[in-house]
Structure 1
């Protein structure tokens, strides 16, 4: 622990440091992400100094349980918040052991940290993080070495959405040496993370070996890299605006893009539009080594082909004249599920419920939910002929991957069981609208992706 004390009565926080913390957007709560290190400890003091009178300041400590001093750091955060009169939430997270390696632990810990923060925030919360100019320089250089495009080279934004809340980085305009000078002048204490000196980690190698040499050769390196990040951010903003315009021009919908419209665009425009679409749906932009080959496969495949490109959490699939963005879904039950009156149940991405429409005049038959097994037939009218479910789904152009996940609802048991609903595509008049025949209304809803 770096020795020190709380700011004495003779210390005055400089206005240049206070201004970005004081001039925050309107909020209900300020949640300071407190690691116990220099930067976040300083940020918590600034938040209390600028907003402590409002009672809105809170602190959140994410304990990754990775370092030998994790318990000591947590205790330090509790003591600090106790002295400052700031409520503290401590969240312990577990980094998956498969990612716990020199190459992947940083990213795994980052994901766990942001997931924990997102799970606890509410609307109109501001989450303050203490990233500074040196962190921004590391991020830009690190992403450049990974081959990132302009979106990555734009670095960390001053603010962005975090679930229903907003994440803000008010210290991005300052270098670490400035923050440390002010922290020492104020007599602050903090805990040093021993992993920060381990150069097996890429960021530490950049921080301790590469960036010092670059700064010696090119003074003002942080400023130069910040200019690069700002230029890339402007370029990315223009790319997104272009993609939004072209999305409308080609007739894009939430989950699909017309292939004929994509064909009118250049490869660069196709790449830009796909990346924008994926990010708009909440997924990370795909990393593709050969965009030309992927777009060739997806767009110019024969009509009888169904090409697919898989990425992190989703896949891009071609069906007939459209390109679909298909989220990965959970495994469906491998045996039929019984549906009874009451609060309803989830079946994959579907929600089903039975509710009374009128006072039932006869007992409710057994209601089961399952997926296609082959050979199912459906009778759309009680006095009409039955039809092959497979052929009907083909006729109405339901994509193959959706056919396999449609909840089929059967009423009755054994050979007498009757298909009464097919997802949200069709429901028997016995269980829809007035539902006078059965006395029960079947509700089938597809959850928004």
Structure 2
């Protein structure tokens, strides 16, 4: 449904509404996330009245293609932006997992659409760009209540942050201090139009049920509900910031130069501090801590299991693993190529997170060696010093305290000659003098590179 009003109408806006939109963090370009709904349309009007003339303002509309009126919303957004003189970037997305979501009361569709939308935002934001989103006080209250019902800690009860990094830019929510009623009153006063999303009335969605059935009852009983929740969320954010500060102090005490956590240091902390540090540490590496029902038991297993055990915590796309008294955050990796890959002169070979290149060195024109990349099979030996004895590769890696999950993915460089194989390289840990240095003895140089985690 499209509300009455000219898409481009609207004139003077109250100082109270303009102030948070005018006083933004430093930015080079400004984007407004425009759905076509009342709140985002109002935000675009205000932003256009303040910034449209300087050429830095644009809008982005994500069409999820889920609702019958999705095309109408897209056209409305285009007309609105044309009327306001604001460039519009329209992105159409395919939302995955819809059929499975319908079997679970619709809530999964909402989450899948949100994920697709934020993925677009992450992809388009460039350094220095600020994305404005029109979340308001009622949205914040619903978020806090929703998270409370799902079971969350102080970080979740802090609600949506006013700003946070997103992609290469920043996300900013200037309207969090206003209620939905305040924003709608200003919109109707200025006769601006907007498009209602029919899915917003479907109470199969948990957020809609809260908004339509629960919040009105709570507001009727406690008229200052939104302000009270905002106050409580602020207190939770302060507590979360203090917990993060404490975790960072403990991290400096317990971490080595590689950022791994010393289990002995961790064991000396109270369980609450162990959990706080571990969750902060996981977030420090831009991962989301897993939901764990019994943290004390998991932490005890992680810290006290016998040395021959390999306890771990699984997360989304990573694992926390223990090795020789330290905890490591290990990202999941794609499977390595099957079999052996030959090195072709001048062509980089991708081997999981590794890149290996064979190239001629200097003026010498010796035939290209037969070098192949493989994983360890067991029993390999290397000669770390040119004139020294050979050593078991397994023992050598253990002496260098290379964790087992790293050993399993280490690219071995095998030179095949006269039916025999010789290990001439082990990842970026060691390379035979025949293939490295200013003047490799073989006349060929091997370069091994590894991507950063």
TM-score by length of 2: 0.94
| Compared CA separation, residues 231 and 415, structure 1 to 2 (3 A) | farther
Moved more, 360-369 or 400-409: 360-369
Aligned to 1:366: 370
Q: Which of 132, 137, 143 matches 2:136?
A: 132
Aligned to 1:330: 334
Residues 36-73 of structure 1: CA deviation (Å, up to 9, x unaligned)? 11111111111111111110011111121222222222
1:287 maps to what in 2?
A: 291
Instruction: Give the corresponding residue for 2:83.
Output: 83
Is it true that 1:43 corresponds to 2:47 in the alignment?
no
Corresponding position of 2:324: 320
Bigger shift: residues 182-191 or 124-133: 182-191
- 1:67-82 to structure 2, matched below 5 A, reads 67-82=67-82
Alignment match, 1:203: 207
Task: Give matches, 1:349-360, under 5 Å.
Answer: 349-360=353-364
* SS state at 1:131 partner: coil
CA distance in 2: counterparts of 1:289 and 1:238, whole angstroms: 23
Q: Which moved more, 1:347-356 or 1:136-145?
A: 347-356
| Alignment of 1:182 onto 2:183 | no
* Cα pair distance change 1:368/1:68, threshold 3 Å: farther
Say if 1:364 and 1:438, in contact at 8 Å, map to a contact too: no
Q: Distance in 1 between matches of 2:73 and 2:417?
A: 61
**Structure 2 residue 54 is matched with structure 1 residue 54:** yes
Runs of 4+ more than 6 Å apart: none
Q: Distance in 2 between matches of 1:317 and 1:86?
A: 50
Alignment partner, residue 100 of structure 1: 101
Q: Partners of 1:335 and 1:39 in 2: how far apart?
A: 57
Residues 291-329 of structure 1: per-residue CA shift (max 9 Å, x gap): 011001100111111111111111111112111111111
Equivalent residues of 1:378, 1:389 under 8 A apart:
yes
Which residue pairs with 2:275 in the alignment?
Answer: 271
* Correspondence 1:118 to 2:119: no
| Comparing 288-297 and 21-30, the one that deviates more | 21-30
User: 1:159 aligned to 2:163?
Assistant: yes
Give the number of equivalent residue pairs.
448
Match of 2:398 among 376, 394, 408: 394
Q: How far is the alpha carbon of 1:399 from its aligned partner? A: 1.2
1:253 shift after superposition:
4.3
**Structure-2 separation of matches of 1:367 and 1:193:** 61
Gaps of at least 5 residues in structure 1 are none
3-state SS in 1 of match to 2:151? coil
| CA–CA separation in structure 1 for the residues paired with 2:46 and 2:219 | 29
Deviation at 1:268, TM superposition (A): 0.3
Aligned-pair RMSD on alpha carbons?
Answer: 1.8
Residues 85 and 318 from structure 1, CA distance in 2 versus in 1: closer, same or farther, beyond 3 angstroms? same
